[in-house]
Structure 1
Amino acid sequence: MKKLYKILLLICSIGLLTGHASAQQNIQFSQYIFNTLSVNPAYAGYKEEWFAQMALRNQWVGIQGAPKTGQISIDGILDPQTTKHGVGVQITSDKLGPQTSNSITLNYAFRIQLDGADTRRLSFGLGVGAAQYGLDGSALTTVDGGDGSVPTGGSSKIAPDFRAGIYYTTPYWYAGISALNLLSNSKSVDDYRRSTNIADNIVRTRHMYFVAGALINASTDLRFRPSVMIREDFKGPTNADFNIMAIFNDKVWLGGGYRTSVKAFKKEYQNTDVASQAALIGIAQFYVNERFRIGYSYDYALSKLNGYQSGTHEITVGIAFGKAPKASICPRVF
């Protein structure tokens, strides 16, 4: 286990020690289908009522230093009559081996009504915030003692964040595209090697997301909700999540997904030993009542790492509060 922990720390810090990587991947939740605000600011206010959600993710259980993430978000509308202005705030805390990240983002969405019945909306969203990235140098052991690339104690950096997105919805399908971490530093490898602020190397890189999904009514008591999310950072493998949920009586959701990485573009990493990774995901969600839900998901890794850990657990809790909307569009499906 100690050997595996050292391998994990090496993976986390390979960019610091070699200069071959300059930034980190964004956090990814298996239950993104219940909180699209985490990847697209244009989603703010979609439910047309105030909604709060908490998510806790414990990845690769059994491995010391494995990723642990917590997130709280609240979003709603400022104008209940026209529902044109959506706002939201999101607070995230993440820890991976010697690295930590804490961020807060304020989101705004301008929602355009596209038809008289108000069944189609096109939203444009912006998000601004800040993130504090930290590195505990005492948790790292270098081959050569006194390596100047690793801090002797703690090192931290506060970086601004800016994101933008577009989100289109109808009663039966949706699609959105967004870009996160747009202000992420894009220093060259040589600049990072010369950097005296080691925390520069763990700031997350720019990401683009595409999300889409649909609602299929099989009967009055059974509906299906397929969805897909594609994540691209233009440095590592392109990640894709494919999910499908069965909805029983609009109360119980059961389903799963498949996550994989593909080589969509020619990138520097393709000249290395980086391999495609995949996972199977099981998801369940239950509405205790019309305004309170709880969800759980389990990730089963389809890689050699599976023999060293017992999976990934994720719990989400959501609650709607305040005055109910006038006439919402599938408020708890998308």
Structure 2
Amino acid sequence: MVVQNATENSIKIMKNLKLKIRKTILIVFVSFFSIFSTYAQFDGVFSHYMHNLSLVNPSYAGENNMIQASLFQRTQWIGMPGAPIMSVLSVDTPFKLLERQHGVGVQFLSDIFGVFNNQQVKLLYAYKYKLGKGHFSFATNIGMINVICNADSINISKLTTDDGYHSDNDPAIPIGKQTGVGFDLGFGLNYVSDTYSLGASLTHVNSPIISIGDKNEFNVLPLMQVNGAYRFPLDRDNGKYKINTNVLFLTDFAVWTSHLSSILEINEKYWAGVGYRYQDSFSIQFGLELFDGFRLGYNFDIPSNRLILNTFGSHEVFATYEFSLVRQKSNSTKSIRIL
């Protein structure tokens, strides 16, 4: 009798445990959808952004006087299931028209987060003119946002069977593979000199509404980004060592964050630096120019908040190649890649 009661109690405990596990999995899935709505309002930012400022401001397209092709990849919150993995391919170039300097570019972005994949395509155009000891740029970008929800990767019916809490017909839960598309618009401006750079941009100006299926949609809020940088030599005689300081402020007018960094550059070929993202992480980065125009960089973010209990950190790498289709009169080129 005692054995029978113990067995019955064990069966009840196992059923309750399975029920709790199913509820937990379902809650996590639904939470991903809710989190993504917030996350999409605040675009992911690379800690390496200063190596290609057109990632945060379209007015930097064509800034380096050469064609620039860049590939960035960020694996965030290592060890955490469903954590963001962001990749960007960017190409921009300067050109001259009617005795005026211009810049154009194109960017492809993929941001995988849980069961979602945020894909974006942007076309960039910048108009530039000389002003004082530097030059001023005004730019716009247009593009498309395509959000894919891979809900078919989770068996909703199995998770909701006999739980008495959710239904597999819950309209809040997407079914199958859902896609939402929206038009995107942004603007940016900057002023660049030999020693400093200031810029501001506003993306998602039109606040695109992305519909996921027939029951779910979210509004992508405008995102303002303000960046500044200052470069100064440590040895004024030959300029072999330089310090590059960078600051980036971001807000969607509901929440905000900022990123500060300081980078030591040696012979314009090697660099190493540290950074801090407000209430988020500390970072270290280093890189080198392997050969003329081709650079590689690595960055590691260490959480400065409670995420450190669940993840070791975030990896980030980038590769950039700058080249010209026209023979240059001089081998030296002026670049603001880390301004």
Superposition TM-score tier, normalisation by shorter sequence: 0.7 to 0.9
Offset from partner CA, 1:94-149 (integer Å, 9 cap, x none): 1000111111100000001124xxx4010000001111012123447675122111
Which of the residues 249, 254, 258 maps onto 1:230? 249
- CA gap of 1:307–1:332, structure 2 versus 1, over 3 A, is same
Cα distance change of structure 1 residues 84 and 241 upon mapping to structure 2, 3 Å threshold: same
1:132 equivalent among 143, 146, 171:
146
Name the residue aligned to 1:265. Answer: none
Superposed, 1:7-156 pairs within 5 Å as 9=29, 11-14=31-34, 23-79=40-96, 84-115=101-132, 119-138=133-152, 139=154, 143-145=165-167, 146-156=169-179
Aligned-partner residue type, residue 137 of structure 1: A
Q: Distance in 2 between the 1:165 and 1:37 partners?
A: 10
What secondary structure does 2:41 align onto?
A: coil
Q: Deviations over 1:82-101 (max 9, x none)?
A: 56110010000110001111
**Equivalent residue in structure 2 for 1:319, among 300, 321, 326:** 321
* Among candidates 256, 262, 270, match of residue 244 of structure 1: 262
Deviation at 1:21, TM superposition (A): 5.2
Change (3 A) 1:147 1:34: same
Q: Percent of aligned positions with the same letter in both sequences?
A: 24
1:190-269 matches, within 5 Å, as 196-198=214-216, 200-201=217-218, 204-219=220-235, 220-235=239-254, 237-260=255-278
Q: 1:302 aligns with which of 301, 304, 309?
A: 304
1:267 aligned residue: none
The Cα of 1:150 is off from its aligned counterpart by 1.4
2:18 aligned residue: none
Task: State the one-letter code of the partner of 2:304.
Answer: L
Instruction: Decide whether aligned partners of structure 1 residues 66 and 9 sit closer, same or farther in structure 2, where only a CA change above 3 A counts.
Output: farther
Q: Following TM superposition, by how much is the alpha carbon of 1:78 offset from its aligned partner in structure 2, in angstroms?
A: 1.8
Give TM-score scaled by structure 1 length.
0.83
Query: Taking structure 1 as reference, are residues 325 and 245 closer, same or farther at Cα in structure 2, changes over 3 Å only?
Result: farther
**Alpha-carbon spacing, 1:154–1:293, altered in 2? closer, same or farther (3 Å):** same
Offset, 1:329? 3.9
For residue 205 of structure 1, report the CA deviation from its aligned partner. 2.2
Q: 1:244 to 1:283 in 2, by over 3 A?
A: same
Aligned to 1:215, the other structure's residue is in SS state strand
2:289 equivalent in structure 1:
287
Give the gaps of 5 or more residues in structure 2: 1-20
Report the count of equivalent residues. Answer: 303
Q: Point out the structure with max Rg over C-alpha.
A: 2
Residue 5 of structure 1, CA deviation: 8.0
How far 1:290 moved relative to its partner? 2.5
TM-score (norm 2): 0.81
Cα distance in 1, alignment partners of residues 146 and 282 from structure 2: 32
Paired with 2:26 and 2:286, the residues of 1 have a C-alpha distance of 34
Opposite residue 104 of structure 1, the aligned amino acid is: V
Deviations 1:232-288 (A, max 9, x none): 0112x311000000001111110010001xxxxxxxxxxxxxxxx320011112111
Cα distance change, pair 67–206 in 1 and its aligned pair in 2 (3 A): same
User: What is the Cα-based RMSD across aligned positions, in Å?
Assistant: 2.8
For the 8 Å contact 1:49–1:324, the answer to whether it is kept is: no
Relative to 1, partners in 2 of residues 1:45 and 1:6: Cα closer, same or farther, differing over 3 Å? Answer: farther
Q: Find the aligned partners of 1:11 and 1:82 in 2 and give their Cα distance.
A: 54
The DSSP-based 3-state class of the residue aligned with 1:79 is strand
Question: Which sections of structure 1, spanning at least 5 residues, go unmatched?
Answer: 261-276
Q: More displaced, 131-140 or 46-55?
A: 131-140
